[in-house]
């Protein structure tokens, strides 16, 4: 049932192109983004003046990624919050607030309670969920199903990529309702999303390279992850995968924070994974990250760089280079996350752990 793979998670990693295609299928028609269930009127969507994304774990990271796109496309302020924090403070919510609850299982206790709290405060709730008919979509005003197929591995992989794509569709739905994007612009963004399954398929050709890298760094004490912009949540996601599967100390940082503390952690041989932005996209981000890598390399870090294919400028700073296909900046997390998933799984396997059943963890956290 693992489809000839050493562990189930690898099968799910390899299913990601198909999962993404399924998330997009049926959600765009006649030039418009279509939700699966919509008990909100177009006027309700037009009236939205603030968005909260609430979620836990990887789903939370998908929200952090989406913030960049939704703010850019809609000019609405977007806050992304851990459901367990959101529900115990007193967030400012009213009927013009849209709360996007992201959950693979649709049963996560904290996310469900955050939804209930939001609805009590009259906010509108839109669920992004992978499980048909689960509690969170049942209690929401609108639903976008990710359709990634059942995810068995405790560590989220294909559901995470699907959540990013679905959150982007939510952003486009808001942009079209608010008129911040013309219909042809929405169609163009959707077409770019539709090119992503092929890009993810391409990045899967790095699996063997990344597995061998994982075996070589499996005995490290810790691994750090650095990124900027949409690469920052990717760094957080890479670190979460490594913690939950390989039981290693792993931390993701915004690269701009290095000098504010984390650089003190760098020592000889410490693996640092750097998620590079495209050199063609945001040149300033690329330049800043290059200087960050040179700083950590000078302090002895073992630099493992995830960069766009053909980006020759990173080579001198990369002890190991993993190339990903060129895609638009906002879509980069869909490709750059993949090697980090493989890396975590392979490090865990090398250390003798059960990749599909990591200790102390359940697939869905229905008790707090």
Which residues bind to ligand M6R, rule: CB under 6 A? 56-59, 103-105, 108, 111, 154-156, 240, 244, 364-365
> What is the nearest approach in angstroms of ligand M6R to the Cβ of residue 235?
15
CB of 107 to ligand M6R, least distance (A): 7
For the chain, give the secondary structure using H, E and C. Answer: CCCCCCCHHHHHHHCHHHHHHHHHCCCEECCEECCCEECCCHHHHHHCCEEEEEECHHHHHHHHHHHHHHHHHHCCCEEEEEHHHHCCCCCCCCCCEEEEEEECCCCCHHHHHHHHHHHHCCCEEEEEECCCCCHHHHCCCEEEECCCCCCCCCCCCHHHHHHHHHHHHHHHHHHHHHCCCCHHHHHHHHHHHHCHHHHHHHHHHHHHHHHHHHHHHCCCCEEEEEECCCHHHHHHHHHHHHHHHHCCEEEEEEHHHHHHCHHHHCCCCCEEEEECCCCCCCHHHHHHHHHHHHHHHHCCCEEEEEEECCCHHHHHHCCEEEEECCCCHHHHHHHHHHHHHHHHHHHHHHCCCCCCCCCCCCCCCCCC
Q: In the complex, what is the shortest distance from the CB of residue 239 to ligand M6R, in angstroms, rounded to a whole number?
A: 11
Least distance from ligand M6R to the Cβ atom of residue 25, Å: 21
The least distance separating ligand M6R from the CB of residue 15, rounded to whole angstroms, comes to 15
Least gap, CB of 79 to ligand M6R (angstroms): 18
- 21 or 159: CB nearest ligand M6R: 159
Q: Quote the tokens at residue 316.
A: 């001198």
Closest CB to ligand M6R among 74 and 337? 337
Query: 8 or 28, CB closer to ligand M6R?
Result: 8
Catalytic residue chosen out of the listed positions 50, 202, 288, 363: 363
CA of residue 314 relative to chain centroid, distance: 24
Our CB check for ligand M6R shows the closer of 240 and 318 to be: 240
Using the minimum distance from each CB to ligand M6R, give the nearer residue, 74 or 156: 156
User: Among residues 38 and 364, whose Cβ is nearest to ligand M6R?
Assistant: 364
For the beta sheet containing 249-254, the strands, ordered from the edge strand earlier in sequence to the opposite edge, are 249-254, 222-227, 271-275, 302-308, 320-324
Q: d(Cα 289, Cα 45) in Å, to the nearest integer?
A: 37
Identify whether 259 is a catalytic site residue: no
Active site residues: 363
């Amino acid at each position: 049932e693992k489809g000839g793979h050493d562990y189930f998670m690898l099968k799910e990693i390899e299913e990601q192109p198909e999962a993404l295609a399924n998330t997009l299928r049926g959600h765009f028609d006649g030039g418009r983004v279509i939700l699966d269930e919509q008990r909100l009127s177009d006027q309700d969507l037009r009236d939205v003046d603030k968005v909260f994304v609430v979620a836990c774990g990887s789903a939370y990271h998908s929200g952090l990624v989406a913030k960049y796109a939704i703010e850019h496309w809609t000019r609405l302020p977007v806050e992304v919050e851990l459901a367990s924090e959101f529900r115990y403070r007193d967030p400012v919510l009213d009927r013009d607030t849209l709360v996007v609850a992201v959950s693979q299982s649709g049963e996560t206790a904290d996310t469900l309670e955050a939804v209930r709290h939001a609805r009590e405060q009259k906010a509108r709730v839109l669920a992004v969920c992978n499980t048909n008919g689960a509690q969170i979509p049942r209690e929401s005003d609108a639903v976008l199903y990710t359709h990634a197929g059942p995810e068995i591995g405790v560590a989220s992989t294909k559901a995470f990529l699907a959540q990013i794509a679905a959150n982007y569709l939510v952003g486009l739905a808001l942009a079209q309702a608010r008129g911040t994007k013309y219909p042809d612009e929405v169609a163009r963004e959707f077409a770019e999303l539709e090119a992503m399954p092929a890009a993810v398929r391409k990045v899967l050709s790095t699996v063997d390279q990344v597995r061998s890298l994982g075996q070589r760094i499996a005995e490290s004490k810790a691994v750090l992850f650095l990124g900027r912009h949409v690469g920052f949540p990717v760094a957080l996601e890479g670190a979460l995968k490594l913690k939950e599967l390989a039981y290693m100390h792993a931390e993701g940082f915004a690269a701009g924070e290095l000098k504010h503390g984390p650089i003190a952690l760098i020592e000889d041989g410490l693996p640092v994974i750097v998620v590079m932005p495209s050199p063609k996209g945001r040149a300033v981000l690329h330049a800043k990250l290059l200087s960050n890598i040179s700083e950590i390399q000078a302090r002895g870090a073992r630099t493992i760089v995830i960069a766009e294919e053909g980006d020759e400028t990173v080579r001198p700073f990369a002890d190991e280079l993993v190339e990903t296909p060129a895609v638009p900046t906002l879509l980069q997390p869909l490709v750059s996350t993949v090697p980090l998933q493989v890396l975590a799984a392979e490090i865990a396997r090398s250390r003798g752990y059960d990749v599909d059943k990591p200790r102390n963890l359940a697939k869905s956290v229905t008790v707090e």
